[in-house]
A and B are shown apart, each in its own frame.
Chain A
Amino acid sequence: MKKSTLSDPFKEARESKGFGEMDDQNDPVVMVLGHKDVRKCAHNWKTFQSGGDEVGRIVVPSEVHIRNTRQIPFEVDPPEHKSYRDLVEPWFKRPLEANYQAKLTQIINNVVDEALNKGTLEVVEEFALKLQSRALTLLLNIPFEESDLWISWGTHVFRSEDTALDGDKANILYDYIDAQIDKAIENPGNDLYSVLLASEINGKKLTKEEVKGVLILTFAGGRDTVINAVTNAIAYFADHPKSLQRLRDEPEILNTAIEELIRYFSPLTQMGRVVTENTHVCEHAIKAQSRISMCWASANRDERVFENANDVVLDRKVNPHVAFGFGTHNCLGATHARQIMKILLTTLAEKVGTMEIIKCKENIEDLDEFKRKVGFDSIHVTFNKL
């Protein structure tokens, strides 16, 4: 097996019963595994709720004990969800602008050049985290230098090595965001903090707590996911030099290649919902007030939808993956994430001849019944110029 391979630990459970079970801090989760069932549950927001009173409960592992601020629009259900979403949507489409893309290209060029000059480096900390943090300054529209601080936090703002969730670490981020909001109140600019502080929904200004809810989500939702996508892409092209050559020869497959890599990587394994009424999933009884999760990673390997689901098929034309979720809460950061992947792949094809994985430590999520590799804790790679 190649080092970049991400196998599918859900296959047997998905094909035999359609769900899996996971304990999470004594608040068990029924994991929905099939593609069709996942889409059905994501669509049915009345029975499978994101809002609810227990903030943090839809995240797996649950953040109930470490967070009180409601993430917006993520932990809000329709119809309120739509007001928030409509408010932030245009801002999160800015990555489509030429000016944004030019700056992102500059950032990614620099990271790749640095890697080529250095030769060998640890990709998670020295490449992916840097790229992700610097790119985030564009999304927030704040000075580039701010990324130095985020990079210094390391990859595990929320998770430490020994415990899955670390309240102290989460507080670093929450305190930081509080301080940034206060700064923006005193000295408003064109950044996301200021724009949100000046916004209204139904004639009412957003509160500080609401602004904080959007920002926490922007930081948290876009960090590990992007880092995993970038790191896995480097590992994949290191293991498959012919694929990198193919991007050079057939640039027209760039879009299908990006969607396929995102499907295969599924950087966010699952997301939960709280069940509002007694119901069934895959003929399995589910009680009101319990939790389910939609396992995007499993759905994306469903052979009923994806032929050769465990292969990366760079020109897969019909690819209804759910790596960015589905329906109401589909990923708000997808435009940003897709631009990062587009520019990264283009830059690699332009500048990098081959890459070689020297050594790596896999990042395996422990989901009780399943162990899923989602990426790497560390991976040393040598970059060779084209």
Chain B
Amino acid sequence: MAKITFITSDNETIVAEGTTGNVMELAVKNKVKGIDGDCGGVCSCATCHVHVNEAFWGAVGAPSELESDMLEFDDNVSDYSRLACQLQVNEVPDGLILKVAK
């Protein structure tokens, strides 16, 4: 069971818990504003862009090449950008804090 905190662009905080699936799905289930997951999680839409809280970056890790190519052209990319659909709920650190990019 991982507890994940999403902070939306209008500073709403949503705490969600999950055990399986990817982080985009968890966010959509919890109606996190700014995470749409249009492509269902195959890394082709970037509507699940998040900034990982710096303290967790080491544990979460950098994106794969295909993912970072996708992020390259997105608005608001940062050094801590990830696509939430490429993060598995059962692999991310408990207590993870993510800021929604959109």
Contacts and interface: CB of A to CB of B under 8 A. Distances in A.
Interface of A: 36, 39-40, 43, 255-256, 258-259, 305, 316-322, 324, 326-327, 330, 334-335, 338
B38 A319 contact: no
Given A259-B44, A327-B73, A318 B38 contact: no
Interface stretch (B8-16, B48-56, B62-70, B93-101): B62-70
Report the contact-size class of chain B (Cβ under 8 Å from the partner): 10 to 19
Contacts of A324: 44-45
Given A36-B69, A305-B66, A327-B73, A318 B40 contact: no
B66 A320 contact: yes
14 contacts: A39-B73, A40-B73, A255-B40, A255-B42, A259-B39, A259-B44, A305-B69, A318-B42, A318-B64, A318-B66, A319-B44, A321-B44, A327-B73, A334-B38
Contact of A255 (B41, B67, B73): B41
A318 B66 CA distance: 8
Given A36-B69, A43-B73, A305-B66, A317 B38 contact: no
Interface of B: 38-45, 64, 66-67, 69-70, 73, 86
A326 B74 CA distance: 10
Contacts of B64: 318
Contacts of B45: 324, 330
Contacts of A259: 39-40, 42, 44
A320 B41 contact: no
Contacts of B39: 259, 319
B37 to A, nearest CB: 10
B42 A317 contact: yes
A258 B70 contact: no
A342 to B, nearest CB: 9
Contact of B43 (A258, A318, A330): A318
B89 to A, nearest CB: 15
Given A39-B73, A43-B73, A258 B40 contact: yes
